[in-house]
Amino acid sequence: MKASLKIFKQNLRQYFRDRSNLFWSLMFPVILLIILVLIFGGQQDERITMQISLVSLEEEGESDSREDIFAWSEEVEEIFLSIQAEEDQQWLNLHLPQENEDREEFYEQEMKLLAEGERHVVLVIPGEFNEQVMNKIAYQYHETGEAPPAGRMTAYYRPENQLSTIAADITEGIISEISRRFNIFSGMTAQEELLEVSHQEIEAFAEPGERQTGFSMTDYLVAGIIVMTVFSSGMEILVAKISLRRDKGILRRYQATPVKISQFFSGLFLYIGVITVLQIAVVYGVSRIFFDFTVNIFQPSALAFIGYALLVFLALGFLVLSLVDNGQAARGLVQGLFYPLLFLGGAFFTVTGLPGFLQLIVRLNPVTYLINGLRDTLGIFSSPTPAYQNLLVPGIWLLLALVVTFMKFSWSAGRKNNGN
């Protein structure tokens, strides 16, 4: 007992003594949290501004003969301007040509800016637009001959840029809405006949629990970060500490005295447990203070689940150590798997729409279930996977790891020294 406490204290002292290591190991989850919350947390639309240019080109030919046609293009401009003028909106930044500016030149310039990434959409209203619209409306009343096409305008966008794609969709929506308004205004349709569309979020849980404060992306992410820190303590630290000692032959020496080995491990586990708690506490503290994290992680079920997760990761650490003799390779394997398993486990975003074999990895990945389970237990979001699976699948991994460890774990390092 005393010996394990000594080992525990020794590890802990080492940890705290190395100031910079201490700082970064505690700070890193926080930094990640900050980044993720900044990307996802809060209202997205507030911060995005779309640069949309609008230019209506002169029509070829005589301009005076067109005076009698209603300037629909100007109407469109007016509507866009009024959207921009709306007090509480910030998403639209409209670019129009100056009074006396040559339309063609403006068009060229804006297209160039679009290519360079300074614009999201360039909406071009061709010269014949007004006439086209007139004809379309006229057809509705007279219905002679073939139906003419609707007034066509072109929205240029960059498909590789998501904002640009969205801006193009929004533009399409606005134009569609103008069309619709006209229909209502001119009495062709009644407002009531049209669909009223609303967009909302589903509830996080089928049965609303006691705390129904609404979904928070921050909460969603913090749960992922907590699992990440448990992953890192449980697996990375374990594999690092043991593989380093194994490489140096220290572990082999422990093996000669069976009592010592268990003390070494219990001291180590105690150390890992304390570090995990410390890291989670820091993440919790920061998210509570700065990010309005509303979840209470001190519920017994949540703490138990986190403890369970730690056990699973410790076992997986031993699995790696049993299968991989070489210390460097073992550490490399764990580090290399760390982010992919977290990403594919849904720690940083929701994982859907993956093809077969990747989806299979997601389903086999114990991290997936641990994250789902924690989010469910903390009342953040209902688990996409059934509760029993959240315990069972990591549990299977745990058992598998233990079995393999008993069979294959070697106390000495991979590369053998040969003779004197």
Question: In the complex with other proteins, which residue's Cβ is closer, 158 or 288?
Answer: 158
Identity of the residue, 326 or 412, whose beta carbon is nearer to other proteins in the bound complex: 326
Kindly tell me which of 120 and 398 has the beta carbon lying closer to other proteins: 120
Q: Kindly report the backbone phi and psi dihedral angles of residue 94, in degrees, each rounded to the nearest multiple of 5, phi listed first.
A: -95, 140
By beta-carbon proximity to other proteins, the closer residue of 4 and 72 is 72
Closest approach of Cβ 54 to other proteins, in Å? 12
> Residue 194 carries which side chain, given as an amino acid letter?
L
367 and 231 in contact (C-beta within 8 Å)?
yes
Phi and psi dihedrals of 411, rounded to 5? -80, -15
Q: How far is the CB of 269 from other proteins (least distance, A)?
A: 23
Identify which of residues 32 and 242 has a Cβ nearer to other proteins in the complex: 32
Q: Nearest 5°: phi and psi at 102?
A: -70, 125
Nearer to other proteins, 114 or 306 (CB): 114
Q: How far is the CB of 270 from other proteins (least distance, A)?
A: 23
**CA dist list (Å): 291 to 243, 287, 394:** 38, 5, 30
> CA 147 to CA 304: how far, in whole Å?
69
Residue 338: CB minimum distance to other proteins, A? 10
Q: Quick one: how far is CA 357 from the chain centroid? A: 21
Half-sphere CA count of 360, side-chain side, radius 13 A: 2
Q: How far is CA 346 from the centre of its chain?
A: 8
* Element spanning 277, H or E: helix 258-291
Q: Would you tell me the crossing angle of helices 327-344 and 366-377 to the nearest 10 degrees?
A: 50
Instruction: Round to whole Å and give the CA distance between 3 and 316.
Output: 26
Residue type, 208: P
Residue 250 CB, nearest distance to other proteins (Å)? 16
C-beta of 4 vs 120, nearer to other proteins:
120
Q: In the bound complex, what is the minimum distance in angstroms from residue 83's beta carbon to other proteins?
A: 15
Least CB distance from residue 100 to other proteins, whole Å?
A: 27
CB of residue 181 to other proteins, shortest distance in Å? 10
Reference 152, options 180, 182, 172, 181; nearest CA is: 172
Instruction: State in angstroms the smallest separation of the CB of 259 from other proteins.
Output: 29
Task: Using CB atoms within 10 Å of the CB of residue 160, give its burial: 0 to 12 exposed, 13 to 18 middle, 19+ buried.
Answer: exposed
* Contacts within 8 Å (CB) and 24+ apart, 401-404: 401/315, 401/316, 401/318, 401/319, 402/315, 402/318, 404/319, 404/322, 404/323
Contact 306, 370 (CB under 8 A): no
By beta-carbon proximity to other proteins, the closer residue of 3 and 166 is: 166
For other proteins, the closer of residues 51 and 263 by Cβ is 51
Q: Which residue bears the tokens 């840029």?
A: 161
